[in-house]
Amino acid sequence: MELRDTQNLFKYKPINEVLNQIIEKSKIQMNVLEIPTIKSYGFILAEDIKANKNIPPFDVSHFDGYAVNSKDLASASITNPVLLRIVGKSDHKESFEGTLKSMETVYTTTGAKVPNGADSIIPLERVRAKDDGYIEVYSPVKSRDHITPMGSDIKEGEIILKLNHVIRPQDVKVLLELNILSVKVYKKPSVGILSVGDELTNCIEEIHQKKLETHSLILSKMIEGSMGIPYNVGIVQDDPKLIANKVSLCLEKFDIVVTIGGLSLGIRDVTYKAVSNLKPCDLLVRGIRVQPGRVSSVAIIKGKPIIMLPGHIQSMFSGAFFLLLPLLKYLNHLPLTPFIKLKAVMGEELIVKEWIPFKRVRFVKLESIGDKYIAKPILGDSSMISVLVKSDGFIIIPEGLEIIKKGSEVDVHLFPYPC
């Protein structure tokens, strides 16, 4: 059996230093694509979008009702109703093209053009329609009542969406309403995910002999949430040559390569050795000052990042959070923090005396009490998936801090939830 020198293998570096080196040495160019607006959800705009017309394009009715001139109704009351003659209608199919004269009205549907000569809309429920083509009005109205003015929603020439904006469903709607049928966006970074381990399988029939590979499922969703496109390229055995060959193939196809597993100091942990043999290498980092996830490592080969993540589930999650997700955000011109945070109060004292010079991730369950959130630690070793299942998010304990007291305010990074 081969004996391995385990001394001085890990050179744990501060996470900010490593991330800055990755960004500095990566040579990935995110090209600009022009894509159909209908398919643009989730992409990042590579241009400002100006409105090419007013919305609404003219004054429109806010209700189904009658278009009137408010001056005609100045004396209207219960005891002195005013009669107005119905001279037409205005709806989405056809607008009333004439001009209202004194004591005339036009039936007008919601969103339809307000006829010329009218300055107010009376809702249907506030009038009494007569069989002889007239309506009775029992109260005065104010000028501009229930009218949505031209351009009050969006004005022509207004910048409605800015460069680097993440396109949401409501953004797709407004673009289509403006008849903007295509937009320029940044190409999303592609990420090849390679799982390492003789013990792994993707075949359901083999789950009694091997372990079903599922880490890539979690990682794929994390990548999608940070504007990347994940590609699961499968499993490779614990063989340096096979790993190196597979990584080399991935480097030709994808912007970023991520490996999962094979990073510790066991005989079969050969991922780092395999990647470090690839040339030319612009950056090689083994270990980061984060726990769990401290064995996470990085290489830059021909300007492309290889993010090597541990096999324990919590360690993989942590390594991805600190290395991969900020890189994806950077490439997408977005703020580097990948998860949403909220303030909470620690519900119990948390003592963390291990790896004091490192940032430490601890998962928490949130409870709402009044107007406050209470964070309760969910503890367990880094291989335990139940810790993630029971948690709503996690806190990051700064370097040097050993005790978080009960009642302390903390930032909780929330897991993303499906809509």
The answer to whether residues 199 and 324 belong to one domain is yes
Strand partners, 159: 50
Inside any domain, residue 10 = no
pLDDT attached to residue 338: 76
pLDDT attached to residue 8: 52
Q: Which amino acid is at 193?
A: I
Q: What is the mean pLDDT of residues 49-59?
A: 96
Strand partners, 99: 116
- Closest C-alpha to 297, from 283, 311, 312, 287: 287
In the predicted structure, residue 173 carries a pLDDT above the cut 70: yes
**Where among 302, 331, 360 does a domain terminate?**
331
> Which of the four pLDDT bands, split at 50, 70 and 90, describes residue 335?
confident
Of residues 207 and 316, which shows the higher confidence score?
Answer: 316
Residue 387, Cβ density class (10 Å: 0-12 exposed, 13-18 middle, ≥19 buried): buried
Inside any domain, residue 75 = yes
Q: What is the mean pLDDT of residues 310-326?
A: 96
Tell me the per-residue pLDDT of 215-249, one tens digit each, with 9 for 90 and over: 999 999 999 989 999 999 999 999 999 999 999 99
pLDDT attached to residue 207: 82
The answer to whether residues 294 and 373 belong to one domain is no
Per the CB < 8 A criterion, the answer to whether 218 and 311 are in contact is no
Q: What is the DSSP letter of 125?
A: G
Inside any domain, residue 276 = yes
The angle at the Cα of 307, spanning 305 to 313, to the nearest 5 degrees, equals 160
Dist. CA 166–CA 213, nearest whole Å: 32
The answer to whether residues 319 and 231 belong to one domain is yes
Inside any domain, residue 6 = no
Tell me the per-residue pLDDT of 249-272, one tens digit each, with 9 for 90 and over: 999 999 999 999 999 888 888 999
The answer to whether residues 286 and 315 belong to one domain is yes
Q: What's the token pair of residue 208?
A: 């009694």
The parent domain of residue 389 ranges over 341-414
The answer to whether residues 122 and 234 belong to one domain is no
Beta strand 32-36 with 182-186 is antiparallel
Q: What is the mean pLDDT of residues 150-161?
A: 97
**Domain harbouring 98, CATH code:** 2.170.190.11
The answer to whether residues 256 and 125 belong to one domain is no
The answer to whether residues 306 and 195 belong to one domain is yes
- Closest C-alpha to 277, from 236, 241, 309, 306: 241
**Where among 284, 299, 331 does a domain terminate?**
331
Inside any domain, residue 159 = yes
The answer to whether residues 273 and 374 belong to one domain is no
The answer to whether residues 176 and 51 belong to one domain is yes
- Closest C-alpha to 174, from 45, 35, 49, 36: 49
Neighbours of 181 (CB within 10 A): 10
The answer to whether residues 192 and 159 belong to one domain is no
Count of structural domains, the chain: 4
The answer to whether residues 221 and 287 belong to one domain is yes
Q: What's the token pair of residue 146?
A: 């229930």
- Closest C-alpha to 107, from 67, 147, 58: 67
State which H helix or E strand residue 219 sits in. Answer: helix 215-225
Q: What is the mean pLDDT of residues 95-118?
A: 96
Q: What is the DSSP letter of 22?
A: H
Q: What's the token pair of residue 403?
A: 């005790």
Per the CB < 8 A criterion, the answer to whether 103 and 85 are in contact is yes
Inside any domain, residue 36 = no
**Domain harbouring 172, CATH code:** 3.90.105.10
Q: What is the mean pLDDT of residues 160-189?
A: 96
**Domain harbouring 404, CATH code:** 2.40.340.10
Pseudo-torsion of CA 86, 88, 91, 93, nearest 10°? 160
> Which of the four pLDDT bands, split at 50, 70 and 90, describes residue 5?
very low
Q: What is the mean pLDDT of residues 293-307?
A: 96
**Domain harbouring 212, CATH code:** 3.40.980.10
**Where among 277, 308, 331 does a domain terminate?**
331
The answer to whether residues 84 and 115 belong to one domain is yes
pLDDT attached to residue 269: 86
Across 253-399, where does the E strand assignment appear?
Answer: 256-260, 281-286, 290-291, 297-301, 304-309, 341-346, 350-351, 359-369, 372-378, 393-397
Inside any domain, residue 76 = yes
Inside any domain, residue 23 = yes
Q: What is the DSSP letter of 205?
A: G
pTM of the model: 0.84
